[in-house]
Structures are given as structure tokens and as C-alpha cells.
Structure 1
Amino acid sequence: MTLPEPETEADFATLRNLGRTTIGKSFSLQFGSHSDIGAPTRTIWQIISEDADCASMGSGDEEEVTLRQSPAGRVQVKARVVRERGRVAELRFERVMGRANRDAHLENLLTLDEDAAGRLIELCYALKGIDPSGSETLKLDDDLLAAVMADPKALSAAYDRDPEGFVEMIKADVTATDVVAIAARKEALKRFEILLDDPDEFERARDGGGREAVWQRFFEGNPWILGVGLSGHLFTSWDGQKLERAVAGSTVADFGKRVDAMLTTSGAVRSLVLAEIKLPGDPLLERDSYRAGCWVPSREVSGGVAQAHITAERARDDLGTWLTARDDDGFDTGEAVYAGVPRSYVVVGRLSSLMRGDQLHRDKVRSFELYRRHLSYPEVLTYDEVLARARWTLHLLEAEAE
């Protein structure tokens, strides 16, 4: 059967496929707003509902894009984009009546001007993000929707308008929470690398303070890095606000003892974990060999190990076998941490100090590995090892979020 050649706009409308968007070629506007006369214009059509089968009809002046189908009656939407990309000057809903080349005609159902069309378009975009579950009524004003739609930095603009609303939406959205957590951890690792490799930035971070204080602040701001970077176990900070804690009291007869990081294992029973944080630039071995092929640990490494031994011993003496957790008001929470045999770590130096470029110094690597592997405690870890494990953990998070 040969399809008739359409003669009118109504004929074209009867022959268009349901759910297919037809974009006409550009032309100069001949009527409408005075300021728009002569401006480049394109007309867009789509049949959004259908009650009878119709054959499709293409045209050399039209570009077609297939969309989803909708199971209602035959209604056409006609939009007019004028002067600039995305500016919908008019949106019209039309009923398509009759048969092509016979009695086809269009019946106008609703015409929306530029402002009304813009609000409808913004509503349609908003509808795609609405969760059908929820016990609260939410209200989004036109300015918020317009910011999301019109601003190239839409999310930033929307956040600036209603930061508290965005925080609540993120808290309620597990996926969003994951995305924010991953982004924050990426930034933390980027900062880690900068502090390791950029001496100028490290000096700015010192701001006149001590060098170890820079790393103390960094790990306190990102406790998850030590939590996943020290061991195969998950460690969490004993205090959510501060890693450094006193583990032994100061008296007239003795000195008080503080530990750089006080953490606990995670699980049904928690155990105490102590860490001493040195500097990534500290050497791992003495400059000269002790004997041919044999290097001894540096003063910074051996000193950190001795410090860890004393800290753990003092913690056992002063804290006892069990450490009871308290809330901010000083009341016992009922949670106890086993402190009888605290795990202990020293974070110091970088393995790259045992290399020249890409070349290993095998005797130095062997000397360092033999020394730390024969320690019962503490475990000695380097900054690059902590960073590598944190990167691996972030990679797993990103894979789970995909």
C-alpha cells in the first residue's frame, strides 16, 4: 500500500510515529515577539499518546529521534525553540483528528508561553528524580529548579540556594552518601601525596609549627587512612575528635606519656591499638653500612621502636587490662576495650629511600625487612605503604559504587 504524500501540518501529524521526536530545519521567525522576528527558529513535534496504528513518514527537512512510547490517546506536542539553544518560546498541545490527505486537522488543547513552558520543562526534569517513598512533603521553588536547569554549574548553584536541603537529601540517599565519601577520600589521598612530594606546600601546612604536627593534623582529619592502612584489620579512632591521647599519667616521680594515635580494632570485642607517627623524610637505615651488606636501622626507626615499647608498657600499667569508654558527659557507655596487650605501630620514612630511581638496593632492603620482620612489636610501616593500602581501599569502594 502506497502511503499518501502529506500536504498539511495536520497530515504530517497523522503519519508520525508515537514517541518519535521530529526536529524541523532552522528558519527565520516571521511572527511572534517583536524582538524575536528574524531570529533562527526550529520547530519540534512529538506524538505523546496514540489510539490507532499509523505508518511513519520521513521528510528531508526533518531529523528524527526515537523516544519511549506512551499508551494514551493521539496527542501531539509542538515546541518552538527560538534564537538560542534550549530557549523554548512556545509549547503547544494539539489533538490530531481525521485522516491524512482527507479530513486531517489539529485541535488546540493548550498553549504555554515561554515562562509557563519553562516551568513545565523544569517540572518534568524534577519528576525523574522523585523517590515514590517518603513521609515528608518537599517544596522546591522555581528559582531552585531554574538554577539546576539553566546554570552550567547547576549543582553548585542549587547547593548555594539550599545547602541544608542538599545535606538532608544526601543523608537519605545511600548512593549519594557513597559518592560523597569517595570524593572526600580522593581529596584526602591527593592531599596526602602533596604533603609527601611538595616541600613548599608542606612548609605552608606547617605554618610555623612542628613537622610532625602537620601529619598529626592530617591523620586526625582523615582517621580512616590509618584505620585501613596499618593492618588487615579495620581500626577506628578511640576519640572521634583527636587521635593523640595520653595513655599514662604525669606524676612528680614519673613523666606522662602521650601516643600520636590511639585507635581500637573493630568487632564484637575491641582491642587497643597505639601508633607513633614520625616523618616521611626520616631515613630507614643509617647512612653507612655496619658490615659489608649489612645496614642497621636509623636512629629515627630504632628510637620510634623504643618509644613504642615504652608507650605500650606504660599503657598496660596505667590503663589496666580493660579500658572503659565514656560519653561526652563522663558516663560509662558500657563498652570496654581490651588493653592488656595493645597492638603497636610506628609510621616512619619511605621505602623509596632504599632505591635510586627505579633501582633497588637489595642489601638495604634486606637489612630493613629482616629488622622489622623480627620485631614482635611494634610493626614498622612506611608512609608509602600506608598510602598504597589507602589507595587500594578507595579502589574497592569505587568498584562497589559502580
Structure 2
Amino acid sequence: MESTHSKDQEEKRFFETRIYGRIYISKRFEDLYSEKKKRFAYKITQSEQQERFVREKGEVILSVSNGGKHQLKALIIEDDDRIDSLVVQTFSAESGNPHKNGYSFRGQEVNNLYLFLKGLNELDLENENSFKIDDSSLKKLLIDSEQATRIVIENQDLIIDALKNNVTKTDIVALGYRKSQLNIFKLLLEDEAFFISEKEKLNKGDEAVWQSFFERNTWILGYGLDYIINTPLDNKKLEQVVSGYSISSSGKRADALLKTKGIVNALGFCEIKTHRTTLLKQISTPYRSSCWAISEELAGSISQSQRTVHQSILNIRTCLRLTDDEDNLTGETAYIYNPKSYVIIGSLSEFITIKGANEAKYSSFEMYRRNTKSPEIITFDELYERASYIVGHSM
């Protein structure tokens, strides 16, 4: 086995040959335990002076000394393109060996460090008063600024073509906004801390987070559900109580009451659950061999959707004529002949294991939803991909 001393000597030798202004990437190697492919990345930094706390005569003082050469060492996991750890190494001027008191960041700590440094660079510090900003707000700020830059860099031909074809600034801003909102959608799906912070802001349950997001982005439901069902009722929130002609009295509540966009409008209904909602029962054995039962949450959502649609047909009959707060007709109408309905629920990631997809569980879910005519069942990740595809090809 290679000694610690020989490892230090080898690290010292490589350190001495590395120069400022470059990133050094190691050969790929495989982790013995996780079998994931990894690499080391190195970067040299230099400082003219450095500050450190030292104890002199019983007091802690800040000591300033000549700077030196430092090395950043990052362990990168190739499989999911993330940094597993980041080590800041200081090398002794006398021996050249790395100090034992070098500090490191691991996992989420690396992301927190990046967010902190990036945020300091982007924040407007003209205000002389103290202030604070939480991570979720900072992420939104960085997404907006980075997205604007990325759109210009990645779509130069598109922008030139847009200028030739009278595409307005409003069109480009709208596209940029939608791309930034898709990034927030992705954060809600994949970043647990971000989702929790959004939930705490609303001081409500998980479903309210998605309800609020889709209220701000009704276009996602239009792109993701059905290209013709894409607008809420005029001046109405998505969530509506559906009973009678004014949709304002007591009755069955629809998470999203939508209408088609055309010369004649028709109603559509949508139940919105959460990406955490399970699609199959969380049990250790199948109902029969390779036959896994759907979850109570999915079954209940389908029943709820069907009941809402049925009740709406009974109450509205064929045509919904909208009124304002003073019961005056607004002139807006929507028809309700065999209306389309949807349930947005769960994520297909439920079927993914370390070794790949669980085919028996996925097929049990897929065959069930393909044989469910109404409502149509769509997972949150599928809704994201549909909307993302349309935005990517929208100009």
C-alpha cells in the first residue's frame, strides 16, 4: 500500500508544476464502492497577502502575512455532472507539503458556496442599509440574469433572424421569461430545499406550491396538456368552484378550470396534485406477479376529477355564461360537451432504481393510464418536458 508520505510527495511534485490560469483534469477512475465514474480537477490560485487569526499572549489577533500559492481540488462525479467535494489546500512554504488544516466542502455545501459567491457578484449593493436575501430568492435572481445571457449566446442566429422578420422585443422577452420559469419548474421538481422554501413562503401545503406556480404560468398547462386548452377563464383564477352558471356558488372545486382558444370556447378540467404523490402503492409485494396496484392518491384523484366533471355537466348543462361580481354578463361563454379532463400527479422517477427502470412497476402504471380515457394522467416531469420542448421550438 502506498504510504501517506509518498502520496504527499507526489502531490507536492504535481503542485509545483501546475501554473496559474489553467484548470487541470485528471484521468477518469471508478469509485470502488458506488461504481460511479469520477475525476479530480485542480486550479492554482495566488494571493499577495493572507489574513489569519493567531493567538499572542492569550489574545486572538488578525495577522497579515505574505500570500502564497494555493490549490483548489474538486472531485467531480461524471454520471450526474456534479461536484462531490471541493478542497482548498495551502502548501507549507518550508516543506512544500499540503497543510493538514486545509478545509473542504462536500455535497450540498459545494452548491451553497457557489450560490454565495455567485450571489455576491450579482447582488445590487448600492443600498447602504443592511438587508438579507434567502436562497430561493437568490436562485431566482441568478436564473433570470444567467438565462438572459444564455439566450443571447445560444440563440445568436435566432436573434438575427428575429430582427429580419420583425419579431418584437416583447416576443423575445416573453420567450426569455418562459425559459426562466421552466428553470424554476425544474428546481421545484429536483431541488428539495428550494421546494420547501417556496412552501414556507406560502405557509400552505405541497399542492399550494404548484397551484401558485401554475397561476403565474398558465401557459405551461396549455403547452403541456393540450395545445388548444391553454387559457383560464377571463379574469379568473385557475382554481374555481364549479356549480351553476356563475361558477361562484358552492360546489365541486377544480384545481384548474381552463377553456380552449378558438372561435368557440370549450371547458377543460384539471386536478393538480404534487410531484411527490406516489403513483403506485408503496408495498413490498405486488397484487399478483408483476402486477402493481395504483396508489390511493392516484385512484382518489381520478375519482375526484370524474365527479367534478359529472357535477359540472349536471349544473352547467351545455353552456357556461360568465358574470362579473355584480352578476352582469361578461359576454364570455364556454361550452361543456364531454369536456377534457386531466390529473397532474407524481413523477416517473418513482420507477427509477440504481440499476435502471423497474419495468414491472412502470408497465403496471402505463397500462393503467392508457386504459383510462378520462381524465388523462400526466406526471409533473412529463409536463415539464412537454412545455420545455414547445418553448425550445417556439421561434
Q: Evaluate the alpha carbon distance shift between residue 365 and residue 330 of structure 1 in structure 2; reply closer, same or farther with a 3 A threshold.
A: same
Q: Does 1:236 align with 2:231?
A: yes
Query: 2:389 is aligned with what amino acid?
Result: W
Q: Deviations over 1:235-287 (max 9, x none)?
A: 211144410001027xxxx9731110000111222111000000101111112
Q: Does 1:185 align with 2:208?
A: no
| 2:362 alignment counterpart | 365
Runs of 4+ that moved beyond 6 A: none
Q: Deviations over 1:170-207 (max 9, x none)?
A: xxx85201111011101111111111111121111112
Deviation (angstroms), 1:393: 1.1
Query: 1:204 is aligned with what amino acid?
Result: S
Q: Does 1:379 align with 2:372?
A: no
| 2:192 alignment counterpart | 199
Secondary structure of 2:168's counterpart equals: helix
Query: 2:268 is aligned with what amino acid?
Result: V
| 2:301 alignment counterpart | 304
Whether the 8 Å CA contact 2:241–2:250 is kept in 1: the answer is: no
Whether the 8 Å CA contact 1:274–1:343 is kept in 2: the answer is: yes
Q: Does 1:314 align with 2:308?
A: no
Q: Deviations over 1:2-59 (max 9, x none)?
A: xxxxxxxxxxxxxxxxxxxxxxxxxxxxxxxxxxxxxxxxxxxxxxxxxxxxxxxxxx
The match for 1:286 among 281, 284, 298 is: 281
Query: 1:263 is aligned with what amino acid?
Result: L
| 1:332 alignment counterpart | 329
CA distance in 2 between counterparts of 1:204 and 1:257 reads 30
CA distance in 1 between counterparts of 2:184 and 2:315 reads 36
Matching of residues 128-147 of structure 1 within 5 Å? none
Deviation (angstroms), 1:329: 6.0
Deviation (angstroms), 1:335: 3.6
CA distance in 2 between counterparts of 1:358 and 1:241 reads 46
Q: Deviations over 1:115-140 (max 9, x none)?
A: xxxxxxxxxxxxxxxxxxxxxxxxxx
CA distance in 2 between counterparts of 1:327 and 1:275 reads 23
Deviation (angstroms), 1:330: 4.4
Q: Evaluate the alpha carbon distance shift between residue 377 and residue 360 of structure 1 in structure 2; reply closer, same or farther with a 3 A threshold.
A: same
Matching of residues 82-93 of structure 1 within 5 Å? none
Matching of residues 29-40 of structure 1 within 5 Å? none
Secondary structure of 1:219's counterpart equals: helix
Secondary structure of 2:282's counterpart equals: coil
CA distance in 1 between counterparts of 2:305 and 2:167 reads 40
CA distance in 2 between counterparts of 1:351 and 1:240 reads 34
Query: 1:279 is aligned with what amino acid?
Result: T
CA distance in 2 between counterparts of 1:358 and 1:337 reads 49
Q: Evaluate the alpha carbon distance shift between residue 357 and residue 227 of structure 1 in structure 2; reply closer, same or farther with a 3 A threshold.
A: farther
Q: Evaluate the alpha carbon distance shift between residue 331 and residue 217 of structure 1 in structure 2; reply closer, same or farther with a 3 A threshold.
A: same
The match for 1:257 among 232, 252, 257 is: 252
Matched pairs, number:
223
Deviation (angstroms), 1:370: 1.0
Q: Percent of aligned positions with the same letter in both sequences? A: 40
Q: Deviations over 1:276-329 (max 9, x none)?
A: 000101111112311111011111111100000110011111222101134576
CA distance in 2 between counterparts of 1:358 and 1:178 reads 44
- Structure 1: runs of 5+ lacking an equivalent: 1-154, 156-172
CA distance in 1 between counterparts of 2:274 and 2:228 reads 24
Query: 1:281 is aligned with what amino acid?
Result: R
Q: Evaluate the alpha carbon distance shift between residue 337 and residue 255 of structure 1 in structure 2; reply closer, same or farther with a 3 A threshold.
A: closer
Whether the 8 Å CA contact 1:227–1:237 is kept in 2: the answer is: no
Q: Evaluate the alpha carbon distance shift between residue 323 and residue 241 of structure 1 in structure 2; reply closer, same or farther with a 3 A threshold.
A: closer
RMSD: 2.2
CA distance in 1 between counterparts of 2:250 and 2:233 reads 23
| 2:385 alignment counterpart | 388
Secondary structure of 1:274's counterpart equals: strand
CA distance in 2 between counterparts of 1:350 and 1:356 reads 13
CA distance in 2 between counterparts of 1:295 and 1:266 reads 39
Normalising by structure 1, we get a TM-score of 0.52
CA distance in 2 between counterparts of 1:285 and 1:276 reads 18
| 1:166 alignment counterpart | none
CA distance in 1 between counterparts of 2:379 and 2:369 reads 11
Normalising by structure 2, we get a TM-score of 0.53
Query: 1:177 is aligned with what amino acid?
Result: T
Q: Deviations over 1:214-233 (max 9, x none)?
A: 11100001000011101243
Query: 2:339 is aligned with what amino acid?
Result: P
Whether the 8 Å CA contact 2:229–2:258 is kept in 1: the answer is: no
Q: Evaluate the alpha carbon distance shift between residue 376 and residue 299 of structure 1 in structure 2; reply closer, same or farther with a 3 A threshold.
A: same
CA distance in 2 between counterparts of 1:262 and 1:353 reads 28
Deviation (angstroms), 1:387: 0.2
Whether the 8 Å CA contact 1:325–1:334 is kept in 2: the answer is: yes
Deviation (angstroms), 1:336: 2.2
CA distance in 2 between counterparts of 1:378 and 1:390 reads 19
Q: Evaluate the alpha carbon distance shift between residue 328 and residue 369 of structure 1 in structure 2; reply closer, same or farther with a 3 A threshold.
A: same
| 1:356 alignment counterpart | 353
Q: Evaluate the alpha carbon distance shift between residue 328 and residue 176 of structure 1 in structure 2; reply closer, same or farther with a 3 A threshold.
A: farther
Whether the 8 Å CA contact 1:220–1:241 is kept in 2: the answer is: no
Deviation (angstroms), 1:376: 2.1
CA distance in 1 between counterparts of 2:212 and 2:282 reads 30
Secondary structure of 1:337's counterpart equals: strand
